[in-house]
Chains A and B, each alone.
Chain A
Amino acid sequence: MSNLARKGSLVLSSLFMFAAVSLPAHAELVVDITQGNIQPLPVAITDFHSATEVAGLVGQKIADVIRADLERSGLFKPIDKRAFLQKPKELQTIPVFSNWRKIDAQGLSTGLVKALPDGQLYVEFRLWDVFSEQHLMGEKLITSPTNWRRIGHKIADKIYERLTGESGYFDTRYVYVSESGPANRRVKRLAIMDQDSERHQFLTDGSNLVLTPRFSPTRQEITYLSYFNKRPRVYLLNIDTGQQEVLGEFPGMTFAPRFSPSGNQVVMTMAENGNSDIYLMDLRTRAVKRLTKHPGIDTAPSFSPDGSQITFESDRGGRQQLYVMNVDGTNPRRISFGRGNYGTPVWSPRGDLIAFTKLTGGKFSIGVMRADGSQERILTEGFHNEGPSWAPNGRVLIFFRQIPGRRKGEEDKVRLWSIDLTGYNEREVISPRDGSDPAWSPLNSE
């Protein structure tokens, strides 16, 4: 172990708790992420060294997860490890920085894994600025070896945070609707997977139509719409226990649910006798409050991150447009004024922007505007893009895209895609089958 490592105090934790192993140095290495089309920063992520073969394999896999996360962000370019001039074993003291400058690495991460006698995994990693030859950060943690993927994501988040100055989003998951079968007999199932498409898991069996799952910001819960017993209602699902319950006793269809930032309330729409209005339910008292009372369609509500306001869509002005109201339903005001229709507004976790689906000229686009409706920007446009959801750091959006079959008989593709807030780094989020209605989880906290 290096001198640097010995400076830190060892903190034992059964789950994930990072302990700094040295005082942070001042960074000169910073990724400017305010520009759209940036050159990704070349970084060298070395395999985690281990004295034993088994732990060494885990060390390689953890490094693979980190490289893939950083590459996917579009802000980093991990260098092929075959170009490295120093081996992981040789990196357990101060690196030979000239060797890393030769391959143009600007950031360098090094690390160590050890199997502890009690079966736990000890992981240590460091981040270095190659050009200033500075130690940027060092962390260590102890956890179950089965958590190796999440270790990778957590370290990738640490690197991202250190070099961009913003919080990461790699240790997160998506819940979405997995789709299969022909469009007129589509089978839809709730599914969940890690941010890198790994650890995919179905949450429902497809016997009931399900739509629009949303993560709780505070608990392992999902709220969604199910057509169980042909009664479309908003449900609450506990991911850990699998327990489900219908939310409230509404006389009509309830749909379009979302949690409040505290996780203690769900805002949703109820349709009754041809009129859709927005309701707020407190999950602790089960009290329900009606927020809109208008003969138009009022739906797709989404809270501001401070919990004070709700954005929603309404056709009360004649066409489907975006509105913002106070959380008690007062002072509804229209914010979208561009050509076309607007739907599915969703407030950024940073609070400044609202993402939406825009329908204009026969195209479905994903865009963002400021919460007052100004500075509208379209990020991507095509035959059908719909339903954006924010990464917890407010820099990336996930949405779904339908691409019609080009030839007769060729099936449509409905897939998940992600795009940077800048409009760059658009890429498919791989799922085993077709997918729609994605929702990004908060950062894993445990």
Chain B
Amino acid sequence: MRLNLGLKFLSMIAALTLVAACETVPEDTGDSSGSGATSQASSTTGSTGSSTSGTVVNKVQPGSQEDLVLNVGDRAFFGFDKYNLTAEARSTVERQSAWLKANPSVTVTIEGHADERGTREYNLALGDRRATAVKNYLVTLGISSSRVASLSYGKERPVALGHNNDAWSQNRRGVMTVN
């Protein structure tokens, strides 16, 4: 895996948060509370309980959702009513692309999400735009489109429950989930 040290460090923070916040990777990944490899995401996933042991990290199966969340970052974030990839989102997707190349048998779904500050139907369309933006960039980076499905949840599956800019910025996201 071609991760630099800085990313590994961030991933460790994410991992420690995740141990507490996300004991199992939910099957309905629309609810995934997995954390991105950015401090913005990892600081707000509602960590309770004490962080523990690196053994959990050691058990991670390469190519699994956990592996993706811990070592790569499963999600890219978007601006309000936007679906273009920011520089930060692009670098997340680039890592995801490298990870998909390292795990060639893995297929994924990109879930597009919107914050609550839009109407239902519009947000479904916006979520589709966001999922597609991530998918298209992965394809540009050399991932076969047959490995990447997309799905919009609109505003139906927020991860942050507040009614403020911080919560909304976490909910405007494209999340990669391993099929």
Contact = CB atoms under 8 A, between A and B. Distances in A.
Interface of A: 182-186, 188, 209, 211-212, 230, 232, 252-253, 255-256, 269, 271, 273-276, 297, 299-300, 313, 315, 320, 343-344, 357, 359, 362, 383-384, 386-387, 402, 404, 437
Interface of B: 30-31, 33, 83, 109, 116-122, 124-126, 128-129, 131-133, 136, 151-154, 156-159, 161, 163
A344 B129 contact: no
B119 A343 contact: yes
Main secondary structure of the interface of B (DSSP, over half): mixed
Contact of B122 (A275, A320, A362, A383): A320
A274 B120 contact: no
B83 A274 contact: yes
Contacts of A273: 132
B126 A297 contact: yes
Contacts of B121: 212, 255-256, 269, 299-300, 313, 343-344
A274 B122 contact: no
B120 A212 contact: yes
B82 to A, nearest CB: 12
Given A300-B119, A387-B119, A211 B126 contact: no
Contacts of A275: 129
Contacts of B83: 274
A357 B120 CA distance: 10
12 contacts: A186-B157, A209-B156, A230-B109, A255-B124, A276-B128, A297-B122, A297-B126, A297-B129, A299-B121, A313-B122, A320-B118, A387-B119
Contacts of A343: 118-119, 121-122
A183 B128 contact: no
B128 A253 contact: yes
A300 B122 contact: yes
A343 B129 CA distance: 18
B119 A274 contact: no
B163 A274 contact: no
Contact of B156 (A211, A252, A256, A320): A211
A437 B120 contact: yes
A256 B124 contact: yes
B124 to A, nearest CB: 5
A398 to B, nearest CB: 15
Contacts of A212: 120-121
Given A184-B31, A184-B157, A271-B152, A359 B125 contact: no
A256 B154 CA distance: 12
A274 B128 contact: yes
B136 A183 contact: no
Nearest to A272: B128
A271 B163 CA distance: 28
Nearest to B119: A343
B151 A232 contact: yes
Contacts of A384: 116
B156 to A, nearest CB: 6
Contacts of A359: 117-119
A338 to B, nearest CB: 16
Contacts of B158: 183-184
Contacts of A252: 128
A299 B122 contact: yes
B125 A299 contact: yes
A384 B109 CA distance: 31
A183 B161 contact: yes
A253 B124 contact: yes
Centre residue among A186, A274, A275 by max chain B CB count within 10 A: A274
Nearest to A312: B121
A343 B125 CA distance: 12
Given A183-B161, A186-B156, A230-B151, A386 B119 contact: yes
A184 B136 contact: no
Contacts of A344: 119-121
Nearest to B111: A230
Contacts of A253: 124, 128, 151-152
Contacts of B156: 186, 188, 209, 211
Contacts of B163: 383, 404
A154 B82 CA distance: 50
Nearest to A313: B122
B81 to A, nearest CB: 8
A184 B128 contact: no
B130 to A, nearest CB: 8
B124 A274 contact: no
Given A253-B151, A274-B136, A184 B122 contact: no
Contacts of B128: 252-253, 271, 274, 276
Contacts of A402: 116
A192 to B, nearest CB: 19
Contacts of A185: 31
A232 B157 CA distance: 14
Given A255-B121, A300-B122, 19 more contacts: A186-B157, A209-B30, A209-B156, A211-B124, A230-B151, A269-B121, A274-B83, A276-B124, A297-B125, A297-B129, A299-B122, A300-B121, A313-B121, A320-B119, A320-B122, A386-B120, A387-B119, A387-B120, A437-B120
